[in-house]
């Protein structure tokens, strides 16, 4: 019992003081006694510090509580703002990607109008990750009128030809494939040769005579010979030229394709050969 009284002694003292003050004020109202007035003043003087402490504690508690509530509200608003910023960034990224895709598609469609033949734009949906990306898979097939041996290009130049077709997809053999062969000519000197794939990312130009006029940076285009690739499609440029002294009859020419196969996302399939020469044949490919 004593421990309980000690534990709640402040509450008991304050309650007792308030009760006595109430009793004394009641007596004063009834009797007007000076003793009651003096006793009331003493009690009020003694309990006023407790009242000030209680009021101050209440004010502090209210302030702390309000700040805590405000802090929780700020944290909640901060989380909501962070989530909104994340969503907006995602939407901006998606819109930017869509804009870039539309720009690439637009360039291909403009190219289709220039070449003067029926063509279809396709997305690259797969790459042969072996042998330096020698084939790619596109999302158009027989249902869109695609057939074997149709020519595939980008705005930079020649990509390859269709070698396998299903209803919804087709496989394209790149010009860097060792089994690929494309009739080409050196645009400046009009020397004719054959572009074939190699073990690297470059292509070799075969069957150019030793005395043929070929120089580094010469532009290479399709020759139109062979019946598959129409004349005038940009193929690449010469990056290395040599004349072996071991009795061979042809130069060793290495060329870099204009098309960047590692970054290719969309291509255009020429469904029919152009009725006349391709209009981009005299244009320099974009950097």
pLDDT in tens, 225-250: 878 888 888 999 999 988 877 767 88
Q: What pLDDT is recorded for position 254?
A: 92
Cα separations in angstroms, 26 against 17, 31, 34, 223 = 14, 9, 13, 121
Q: What pLDDT is recorded for position 132?
A: 55
Asked whether the predicted pLDDT for residue 42 surpasses 70, the reply is: no
Q: How sure is the predictor about 71, in pLDDT bands with cuts at 50, 70 and 90? A: confident
Whether the Cβ atoms of residue 161 and residue 151 lie closer than 8 Å to each other: yes
Q: What pLDDT is recorded for position 282?
A: 40
The gap from C-alpha 126 to its chain's centroid, in whole angstroms, comes to 18
Q: What pLDDT is recorded for position 82?
A: 81
More confident residue, 126 or 274: 126
Q: What pLDDT is recorded for position 286?
A: 42
User: For the residues 71-85, what does the mean pLDDT come to?
Assistant: 80
How does pLDDT run across 155-212, given as a tens digit for each residue? 888 999 999 999 999 999 999 988 889 999 999 999 999 999 887 778 999 999 888 8
Fold of 120-273: Thrombin, subunit H (2.40.10)
Burial call 76-88: b when 16+ CB within 10 Å, e when fewer? eeeeeeeeeeeee
Interacting residues of 154 by C-beta distance below 8 A, sequence separation 6+: 108, 259, 264, 266, 267, 268
Asked whether the predicted pLDDT for residue 257 surpasses 50, the reply is: yes
* Phi and psi at residue 242, to the nearest 5°: -150, 155
Length of the chain (residues) = 287
User: For the residues 81-90, what does the mean pLDDT come to?
Assistant: 80
- Record the pTM: 0.62
The gap from C-alpha 182 to its chain's centroid, in whole angstroms, comes to 36
More confident residue, 17 or 265: 265
Whether the Cβ atoms of residue 173 and residue 135 lie closer than 8 Å to each other: yes
Q: How sure is the predictor about 284, in pLDDT bands with cuts at 50, 70 and 90? A: very low
User: For the residues 143-158, what does the mean pLDDT come to?
Assistant: 90
The gap from C-alpha 93 to its chain's centroid, in whole angstroms, comes to 6
Mean predicted lDDT score pLDDT of the chain = 76
Q: Is 138 helix (H, G, I), strand (E, B) or coil?
A: strand
- Residue given tokens 């009725």 in the structure block: 275
Where do you find CATH 2.40.10.340 in the chain? 120-273
Q: How sure is the predictor about 252, in pLDDT bands with cuts at 50, 70 and 90? A: confident
Identify the CA nearest to 192 among candidates 170, 222, 163, 229.
222
Q: What pLDDT is recorded for position 219?
A: 94
Q: What pLDDT is recorded for position 250?
A: 87
Kindly state the percentage of the chain with pLDDT values over 90. Answer: 27
CA distance 222 to 228: 10
Whether the Cβ atoms of residue 250 and residue 133 lie closer than 8 Å to each other: no
């Amino acid at each position: 019992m004593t421990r309980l009284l000690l534990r709640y002694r402040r509450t008991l003292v304050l309650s007792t003081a308030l009760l006595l003050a109430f009793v004394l004020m009641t007596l004063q109202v009834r009797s007007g006694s000076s003793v009651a007035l003096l006793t009331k003043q003493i009690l009020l003087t003694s309990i006023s510090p407790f009242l000030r402490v209680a009021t101050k504690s209440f004010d502090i508690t209210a302030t702390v509580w309000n700040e805590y509530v405000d802090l929780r509200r700020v944290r909640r608003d901060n989380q909501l703002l962070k989530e909104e910023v994340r969503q907006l960034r995602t939407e901006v990224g998606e819109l930017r990607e869509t804009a870039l895709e539309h720009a690439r598609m637009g360039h291909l469609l403009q190219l289709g109008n220039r070449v003067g033949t029926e063509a279809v734009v396709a997305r690259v949906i797969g790459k042969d990750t072996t042998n330096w990306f020698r084939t790619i898979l596109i999302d158009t097939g027989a249902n869109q009128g695609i057939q074997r041996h149709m020519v595939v290009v980008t705005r930079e130049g020649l990509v390859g030809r269709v070698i396998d077709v299903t209803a919804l997809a087709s496989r394209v053999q790149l010009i860097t494939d060792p089994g690929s062969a494309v009739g080409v000519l050196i645009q400046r000197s009009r020397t004719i040769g054959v572009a074939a794939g190699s073990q690297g990312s470059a292509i070799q130009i075969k069957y150019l005579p030793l005395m043929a006029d070929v120089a580094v940076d010469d532009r290479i285009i399709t020759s139109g010979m062979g019946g598959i690739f129409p004349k005038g499609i940009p193929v690449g440029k010469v990056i290395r030229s040599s004349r072996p002294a071991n009795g061979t009859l042809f130069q060793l020419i290495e060329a870099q394709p204009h098309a960047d196969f590692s970054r290719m996302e969309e291509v255009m399939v020429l469904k029919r050969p152009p009725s006349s020469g391709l209009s981009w044949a005299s244009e320099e490919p974009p950097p």
